[in-house]
Structure 1
């Protein structure tokens, strides 16, 4: 048995090491509050019951439109977010106290803007006055005077009623769900709540005895909001939003969460489908041309094996010319009615909003008043969604037409710039850095020290490089498989070579000759259109360059792009610099 002094000594040492461990843990915790796996950590506040924007799922984890939007921004901007949920009043206080860095769904007001910086809006949310079905209709918020009105505590509508001296009897509640449930159970007179969350919650809770009776308040902008000292966070989220809008990812997230709420059987929806029918007809026509060319190609092969290569080149040239003329002409014809729709739909929406008070007054006098076979109270709820849906469909048509025009267009005289290929490659890699990092742990970049110069369009060449790198990432199935990007010059120094290699799945030899065919893709199920390599091939051809593929199944693919060199720099010797393993050097 050890002596008492030894025991005390051991106890002292134990306390000392425990103190060190506690201090280390505290330091680690302090560090982890700012950085996580090499990425900055941003604390995000969210409402725990504001579906479908943000709410706690069945597993208690944050989910919803703004939650997915925040995570997508974090991915493209290379930051780490931690989303914490509470009632709205608590998260608003948490922003001002510094507990949260940023809120992901805060409505803008001039009063709030005195202390809070707002990003560009990611949503427009409308508020309505909800009542029990046997309640009298109202047209204006002034009619809420002396009425018991339930409002989410500290929300934008709470501030609105106070700032505008409506003199309603305000009943603050924590959530929209609480307001709607109390209203349906016969408590209080009205609830002033957001449309989409209210419709979502009413459907979930099967509240059939309440409905929206008026929308007298204009739409509110939902944005990211941070204190003025965190101006750089707003810049990060603004840039992330812009990237998601331009890539169409924000629209996909929006459709996932709001598509079901926007569905309607109203006949005007068919107007939004007419342009889609035109696109389908266009694709069928292009498919017919492809079938015709395939049959012609087979016929030529039967005639003579010696003429096969020449005939295929002629057919391909004829096909590209036919497609170019067809796509350009039809795209122009589609753009005309699409432009009219984009011009007229806002006017139609504005006319509806202007006429709504008069129609509501008439409906008040005639309870059976209907339009287009629908009762006015139902039409007034559904028509704004139909108009917005038609507007979004028109934008989708315009984007599809722009993609087709990109495929068919001839390069203009802008291909006259001196372009440093190394700089363009570096820029392209920066833009797809996140995709590369998510794909492989072995990325290598070799840049020619002689800084090769070509004549062309930097933007168009960058488009080609991004497309080829993304294709290489798609081919890689394991993080241990490498991707290499190289710039160099031919032995006679007359050409600049860009080589992109991957150790992915490779390409079936039967598909090599069809890679640049328009609409040919092996990724149809993943959303591929087959235009990427076709457009890239056209850009390279316009730059008087060539595109070549060398691939072996299960071993990888090498893509070589060559451009005529312009003023080779003879002042420097050597070939490659900047070799990086595991992560892209940008």
Structure 2
């Protein structure tokens, strides 16, 4: 009684601390509706829930729910239907309760679960007389499983047998086994025993210990803690009053082994006869004394049982240990945590049951037993190895002549998980906004740089056309052109960062990108700079195709390999691998088929504090200017976004880094490769071309190239001059700069020019990549898009193709 009375006082104290320390625990709760609760269950999952011959809901889950509603005074409307349909109804918030759902971490993100009303296990089913007695005996045997059941995945992972046969349902599995066609079946234990009894399959029995135990619970909409609290309280009442055991026996008692009960009855009869004689003698001699003791004992026991029932109704962990760490009290929540009964816990040592339980190792050492601890959060695992966060209060008390310790643990797991998810989303939002702002800035800078670089990229082509092969200025001019192209590549990095850089999508194979990179001058330069680094490639020979920009994907591979080499200054190995992979979306990523590129190194790794910032432009721990522009990882991130993929980074400081890139699969076939286009293919035929560009240098460059290609060229700086020219003259083709400062843009000019000449042809040019305005111009009839800076080939082929294109194609 000292323990129980003390526990009641401490419960009141614990409720006070919970109210002070956890004011947000009920913040998300909703008031229970005044209407009847809408309850749904599976119409074909006997014996747990199903529609009986009369068309009414029946089963273990249904009886438990009705009993809970009865003791808690809840008005519930129960209907059954197809599983997928009723689950979606709960996700949409159209119903209040699902009667039976297996608990999992993934489902816990969608629903709030009650305490389990039963633990469902799988078992090995065999024909009677079989030499198979447990799971280990199944090696090499012919095994039946149900399609989509967890045991199919379990068998595939264990590689226990190559002879696994999947059937549609348990009924078919049991009938096949009963007929002697296979050696065994792996099925849900109680459900299998129910179906064997139901269909009269008397040759089948379950053997061995249970396999893969899973919690089977009520589920409500996420955040309905008020409703889940009432369901948990109702379950506790049913178990305390014995009503739960009655329902369990109704549905499953006939299938449990009866050996133990028979032995109890046998020895009970042998003992009961002499025991009754002793009792009768005791009653005869001590009737008066016994009556007085019995009256006081009954009163005391009634009071103690009442207090214990109250403790059992509390949903938090409440337990007490003696000085040696043995349980002297445990409520149902504590027993559920350890996956044991309260009776089984009593007298057991805490350290023997679970060594990582809060305080198990130190609380009974020295004077720790004499110290109270209030509201300390501890992280541990329950008996089913689920991570749990407990707010633990420990209070010492006197139990007779010795000191004992009371513990109250409030489960904050769901609350902390919600807080972590919220903080993660906030970090992602901040990062996305930061990258968006940097992208807008980078895009503007890139547009201006493209105009500036036109002279370095375009004029060398014109000069080289006029120089002989042995001219002394030829090599210097080629060097100028190469420098301009390298600068243009940096501009492309900025456009990729701005999410405006992927302008050409085509079907290709990622293995080809890796192979091309290994043959590139960039790779040869890397080998020269890092002689101690080796690269090993593990390609998937059956790799599926993807769609996107090969140029940007090659740049991505180059950046990742360069970073991996720089992370291994003393040498090491870089592994580049490709594979096809199905992502199930369990980690919050997209679900589907993906081509996966992995780049792994053995280098210095990335500290955890830096992982969230590695994709920011110019963020680096290296000396700026020694290894690129500082945009490498930002370009990788932008390329992944443009290809509708995602990236995972696994790194530990000092132990290497693994980058895993996911790209959506496309089933289209590869197109044949195209080589360089001969000059004669895009030489002009004297056609007239009107160039409209507000930058004088751009007009001069484009005019010079087109005149070299035998076109008649006129260039103007704005819309007014263009319209005046078109009203008096005919132009076979317009070259429209998409962005004109303080003037109409290219789309508007083209729209107005069509009013002058409805068959007017045009191409679009810009320092940006294609955007919505370019697409609109092309819908009106404009041709190809030309990205600045101009080269002879890109402007020549675009002009020639548009002039040769027939209207309407």
Settle same-fold status: TM greater than 0.5. no
Larger relative contact order (C-alpha < 8 A, sep ≥ 6)? 1
Give the TM-score range, shorter chain: 0.3 to 0.5
TM-score by length of 2: 0.29
